[in-house]
Amino acid sequence: MNSVDTSTDTAHVVICTTGGTITASTTPAGVVAGDSDAATQAMLDGLRTVLPGSVRVSARTLLDADSSTFGPAEWDRVVDAVADVLTDPGVSGVVLTHGTDTLEETAMALDLHHTDPRPVAVTGAQLPADHPEADGPANLLDAVLLAADPVSRDLGVLVVLGRAILQARGVRKWHTTESVAFARNAPDLPVEDLPPELERPTLSGRARFAGTRVDVVSCPPGSDAVALRACVEAGARGLVLEGSGSGNLPPLVAEAVAELSVERPDVVVAIASRVPRGEATATYSGPGGGAELATRGVLSCGYLRPGQARVLLTALCSLTDAADPTEGAAEIRRQWPRFHLYS
């Protein structure tokens, strides 16, 4: 699926495909289903008819599945593939086509590793390729033009859908069907006023997500600690708890977290918020309040919501290779402030 003649005067963008709605079609029963390589080829052929002559594209098929089936193993595969593409100095940028269900996690995994100045744009679609108002072609064109543009350098991984361009950290799918599918939860500050913590810190090495268990546990009002304890017994090295407000927990969950801090200090616990926007902080007192939990080593997830916080915590657990698991967990807690406003 490589494009034809090359030229040193043209920007070369590599499109890495993983399936998703952007190449899906609708069955006679009205069900959206993944399509074959032919749909991907048709997508690329259509793209080439509208691209300016200053941009050429080639493509690599990485995966071909609904992104709801993706997890740590797929994050590893995508991170490796994008890094491999960027070993070619002739590549100007990368576009990753991805299903929107779990796009925010994959984008986070990529961004944590992305130290190359060349842009990586992640895009997808809300409507299948055979829909009369399919949004995939416009999203793909926008993503390719962005990845080819030198102005996009040094911005990290960018999510491009519905004419919106968003930096990866803090991104979350906010609507199941609308074309503007994603919003970004981040500090509302002018670029010149951003503190050093917002300079997109990256990992110190290559994380391996597969094989490192970190679970997300929802903690709605009145919930108990059954799910939390089950995750620990299953071997979780970290837990992201979805609390309320700025990061507060129900009494029974807070009690279990306090016990866990004594019984299993090797398990890292972080608290995110179920609130769509704003920061989770160690603010409130009381047994379930963030301030009290912080005294027990519990981390606040800042502007990240549970999905991306899980990716970050998994990466840090993967990179911490301490002989003593308790010391390893303590090292993760020491590293966390590096990512603190986005974590």
Residues 37 and 173 in one domain: yes
**What's residue 337's pLDDT?**
86
Residues 218 and 312 in one domain: yes
Residue 147: which domain range? 11-184
Residue 269 belongs to what H/E stretch?
strand 268-273
Of 183, 87, 95, nearest to 145 (Cα)?
Answer: 95
CATH of residue 86: 3.40.50.1170
Positive or negative: CA dihedral 98, 239, 335, 80: negative
State the virtual CA torsion across 216, 220, 223, 229 in degrees, nearest 10.
Answer: 10
**What's residue 170's pLDDT?**
94
**What's residue 340's pLDDT?**
63
Residues 27 and 154 in one domain: yes
Of 305, 110, 268, 269, nearest to 202 (Cα)?
Answer: 110
Residue 105 burial by Cβ neighbours in a 10 Å radius (0-12, 13-18, 19+): buried
> Within a domain: residue 195?
no
Percentages helix, strand, coil for the chain (3-state, rounded to 5) are 35, 20, 45
CATH of residue 311: 3.40.50.40
Q: How many domains does the chain have?
A: 2
Residues 163 and 44 in one domain: yes
Residues 169 and 263 in one domain: no
> Within a domain: residue 314?
yes
Q: Do strands 171-173 and 182-184 pair parallel, antiparallel, or not at all (unpaired)?
A: antiparallel
Residues 226 and 304 in one domain: yes
Residues 15 and 163 in one domain: yes
Query: Whole-model pTM?
Result: 0.93
As a whole number of angstroms, the distance between CA 325 and CA 266 comes to 5
Residues 273 and 162 in one domain: no
> How long is the chain?
343
**What's residue 37's pLDDT?**
76
Residues 126 and 266 in one domain: no
> Within a domain: residue 206?
no
**What's residue 36's pLDDT?**
65
Q: Do strands 25-26 and 32-33 pair parallel, antiparallel, or not at all (unpaired)?
A: antiparallel
**What's residue 259's pLDDT?**
97
> Within a domain: residue 190?
no
Residues 177 and 221 in one domain: no
Query: Average pLDDT by consecutive 10-residue portion of the chain (343 residues)?
Result: 50 96 88 79 92 96 94 98 98 98 98 97 95 95 98 95 95 95 82 60 95 97 97 98 96 97 97 95 90 94 96 97 91 89 47
> Within a domain: residue 207?
no
The residues near 244 (Cβ < 8 Å, ≥ 6 apart) are 219, 220, 221, 273, 274, 275
Burial 22-44 (b: 16+ CB within 10 A, else e): bbbbeeeeeebebbeeebbeebb
Final residue of a structural domain among 184, 203, 225: 184
**What's residue 193's pLDDT?**
61
Final residue of a structural domain among 163, 184, 205: 184
Catalytic residue list = 21
Residues 42 and 180 in one domain: yes
Residues 218 and 178 in one domain: no
**What's residue 339's pLDDT?**
83
As a whole number of angstroms, the distance between CA 92 and CA 97 comes to 17
As a whole number of angstroms, the distance between CA 328 and CA 93 comes to 36
The residues near 294 (Cβ < 8 Å, ≥ 6 apart) are 282, 300
> Within a domain: residue 201?
no
**What's residue 76's pLDDT?**
98
